[in-house]
Amino acid sequence: MKKKTENIENAYSDMSSYIGVYANTSIVVNTTTSAEKTSVTPYTAARVKSLLLDPIKNHAMLKEASAWLLEYSSLYGNMLSYYSTLLTYDYIVVPTSKLIGSKTKLKKGYYAAAERVKKMSIQRKIPLLIFKTLQQGETFWYDVSDDATVIFKEVNYRHCKMFAVDDDNIWRYVVDLATVNDAQAKEMPLEVQDAYEKYKKSGGGGTAEVNNTEFGVSLKPNLYVVSKAGFALSCSTVLTDTHEPPAFSNMFIDLIMYEDDKETYNTYLKDSYAKLVHMKVPIDPKDGKPTMTADEVNLYFSKVKQGIPRNVKALATPFETDDIATDKAQTQGIALTDTSRKNAQYGSGIADSLWSPTTANALMVTIESNAARIKPLCSFIDAYVTFKLKSLNATFSIDTQITQYNKEAIYKARTTGLASGESYTSWLASSSLELYDALMIAEAEDALDLATLFAPKQSAYQTPSQSPGAPVKDTVSDSREVGSGYE
């Protein structure tokens, strides 16, 4: 049975107004045009605070604030990069039951599936997909790939909305044709362009609802359901009738305050470090009047200023002056900025041990905890790639246990586990090779008989010059014993 959303007729009656967003982009080629607004206006902490009173309603402005912060705050950009690249996105390919039974059929199908995943370069594209999804809270993509290249083009979110989950567990979306103009339509996928032209020719489609046979519901004529070439990603794993705000919108206030304090502190520090050079104007002790004319003082003053270094300010008066101590004020300025930075870091959801890890174990626990926030997003990728492998009778799954931090440890553990019968598939996933590359290398090494050609010798120091090869392991008489060469 088709999976449907509830109250679909009411879910799309109020598409969000245009606030301003990035132009459509492609994972392979970025295309910025004048059809979509690319400039954003600065956001103050007070303005963001008011938007967060209703983040769902104000999702469009929060998305714009996120786009602005990405350029304004290096901390925000680094945080998005950290989360989107935390997992290595190593994967496994599993054949379905349709391939089981014939060894020849299984091998052919499995190799074909592995090759298709390699051509998709999905492991390299996932971080970019997730980065943009974290930044906006939701993204809408369209597969415009051909035999030579794999391209996922982003469809601007202001024209789209989540619609339903289909039989292949792909999150599908609709495009509101009423929000599209001629220039924007030219940047859309051909499928949407055709729908837009038909919508225009019909004079706006009228008021009669159109039946969607795939999902068995009636929709307003301006709502076009994109085919399976389109898929959506969302920071919410529950399909709702609302838009999703940026993933880290609740920390925007801390980020803005930190950047503002950093700028204020930078200016303040320069001023507070400025040294005063007092050039006292001579006065007559009898009447207390300056002995130099005003023109002479100005000439004297300008000449002296030309020779003093940067951050030194000249002062010319007939009065005595005292130094002003600024050390305490400087310390307070540094403390203020430090506090703002810590507030932003804490608000990121990244544990303090990552910013200043005290032990390796604390760092490991922190990274594992942070990785858990990204794992739900992987289910969207799994579903779409599995759909692309459907004709080859195979499924795709990201190995969410492997992070940038523990990859080497997991590889060693799985290598050890091979001796006790653990999966070669999971072991290959933790290696540094694409699955298809690993299979082809294994085939080549077997055909070339490299194991015999490079037969290991007993010791690198005992190997005669005429006998090439690596050291051989010691002969172990009992499986419970460990040879001295492998201790």
Tell me the pLDDT band of 185, cut-offs 50, 70 and 90. very high
Percent of the chain with pLDDT over 70: 69
pLDDT at residue 441, rounded to an integer: 94
pLDDT at residue 214, rounded to an integer: 83
Same domain, 189 and 326: no
pLDDT at residue 28, rounded to an integer: 38
Is residue 250 scored above 80 in pLDDT? yes
Same domain, 147 and 190: yes
Is residue 27 scored above 50 in pLDDT? no
Same domain, 243 and 270: no
Is residue 418 scored above 50 in pLDDT? yes
Higher pLDDT, 369 or 486: 369
pLDDT at residue 75, rounded to an integer: 87
Same domain, 27 and 175: yes
Q: How many residues does the chain have?
A: 487
Same domain, 148 and 17: yes
Tell me the pLDDT band of 127, cut-offs 50, 70 and 90. very high
**398 found inside a domain:** no
Question: Of the residues 233, 248, 263, which one is the last residue of a structural domain?
Answer: 248
How big is the CA angle at 21 (ends 16 and 27), to the nearest 5 degrees? 115
**215 found inside a domain:** yes
Tell me the pLDDT band of 483, cut-offs 50, 70 and 90. very low
pLDDT at residue 451, rounded to an integer: 83
pLDDT at residue 432, rounded to an integer: 86
Question: Of the residues 248, 274, 307, which one is the last residue of a structural domain?
Answer: 248
Same domain, 41 and 93: yes
pLDDT tens-digit readout, 80-120:
999 999 999 999 999 998 888 889 999 999 999 999 999 98
Same domain, 273 and 211: no
**92 found inside a domain:** yes
**362 found inside a domain:** no
Q: How many domains does the chain have?
A: 3
Interval 53-60 mean pLDDT: 92
Is residue 324 scored above 80 in pLDDT? no
Tell me the pLDDT band of 450, cut-offs 50, 70 and 90. confident
Show the tokens assigned to 114: 């592995």
Same domain, 85 and 232: yes
Tell me the pLDDT band of 181, cut-offs 50, 70 and 90. very high
How far is the C-alpha of 93 from the C-alpha of 69, rounded, in Å?
A: 38
Lowest mean pLDDT, pick from 60-74, 417-431, 462-476: 462-476
**393 found inside a domain:** no
Tell me the pLDDT band of 283, cut-offs 50, 70 and 90. confident
Determine the structural domain holding residue 431 and report its residue range: 407-463
**181 found inside a domain:** yes
Tell me the pLDDT band of 7, cut-offs 50, 70 and 90. very low
Tell me the pLDDT band of 268, cut-offs 50, 70 and 90. low
Is residue 9 scored above 50 in pLDDT? no
pLDDT tens-digit readout, 187-234:
999 999 999 999 998 887 666 677 787 888 888 889 999 999 999 999
**364 found inside a domain:** no
Interval 53-74 mean pLDDT: 92
Interval 403-415 mean pLDDT: 92
Burial bucket for residue 343 (CB in 10 Å: 0-12, 13-18, 19+): middle
Same domain, 85 and 212: yes
pLDDT at residue 33, rounded to an integer: 47
Same domain, 241 and 333: no
Tell me the pLDDT band of 21, cut-offs 50, 70 and 90. very low
Lowest mean pLDDT, pick from 143-147, 236-240, 322-326, 372-376: 322-326
Tell me the pLDDT band of 337, cut-offs 50, 70 and 90. low
pLDDT tens-digit readout, 138-170:
999 999 887 777 889 999 999 999 998 999 999
Same domain, 204 and 58: yes
Interval 5-11 mean pLDDT: 38
Same domain, 47 and 173: yes
Burial bucket for residue 6 (CB in 10 Å: 0-12, 13-18, 19+): exposed
